[in-house]
Amino acid sequence: MKSTFLKITLMAFITVGAFSCKNTEKEAEAMTETAAEATEMATEYTVDTAASQIMWEGAKPTGKHNGTISLSSGTIHLNNGNVEAGNFVIDMNTINDLDMEGDDKAKLEAHLKGTAEGKEGDFFNVKEYPTAKFEMTGIENNVVKGNLTIKDKTNAIEFPATVTMEGDKMMLKSETFEIDRTKWGVNFGSKSVFPSLGDKFINDAIKITVSLVATKA
């Protein structure tokens, strides 16, 4: 009798656990939206990867670091100067620190990229995940909305941005905004993930500023 009761209880826990996991997955999927599609009237602009970049800043109680990341490709579709759709690919191998020099700079970049032996999974693990990507889902009242994928995890983000035109060139510049790195599984030094860290933690929030330049294709 006891054995039968234990089996039934175990099956109940497994069923509830499976249902909970499925609900969690659905909630995660609900956070993202379908990428925007350009109309036939839209004009395609190609992102100038040499003139575009993403600025980042990470902080901890004892200080902060800042730097840049380059893009490897991207397209923006405009209709009468209005952005309808767009996407860009981020080259995670180009993570660059701007506030350090020499060995300290190299060590920090290697740690962030995951190219340092034994620290591959601490941050962005570029050997396994060499690129990240952003797909726009819409833009309203100068707020860009889209899906950001890092380390094969996708979350919806949004940020205020200004779009300006100069002949056949388009510039998109965001205001500085924040993302919570733990949503993409970047958990190293996170006090919200590892509460016992005390004051030896790294902030979950990363400050981001996007600067895009694109030219008419």
- pLDDT averaged per 10 residues in sequence order, the chain, 217 residues: 39 40 42 92 97 98 97 97 96 98 98 96 98 97 97 97 96 98 98 94 98 96
- Residue 31 is predicted with a pLDDT of 73
10 Å Cβ neighbour count for 183? 17
Q: Which two tokens stand for residue 107?
A: 């060590």
Q: Which two tokens stand for residue 186?
A: 């970047």
Q: Give the dihedral sign, CA 184/189/195/199.
A: negative
Query: What's 196's DSSP letter?
Result: G
Distance CA 37, CA 57 (A): 32
Please report, for residues 27, 148, 157, the alpha-carbon distance to residue 31 in angstroms, rounded to integers and kept in the order given: 7, 11, 9
Q: Which two tokens stand for residue 179?
A: 């993302």
Task: Provide the terminal-to-terminal Cα distance of the chain, rounded to the nearest Å.
Answer: 74
- Residue 9 is predicted with a pLDDT of 37
CB-based contact 150:141 (threshold 8 Å): no
- Residue 125 is predicted with a pLDDT of 98
At 105 the three-state DSSP class reads helix
Query: What's 134's DSSP letter?
Result: E
Q: Give the dihedral sign, CA 45/51/53/57.
A: negative
* Nearest Cα residue to 173 out of 211, 213, 128: 211
User: Structure pTM?
Assistant: 0.85
At 168 the three-state DSSP class reads coil
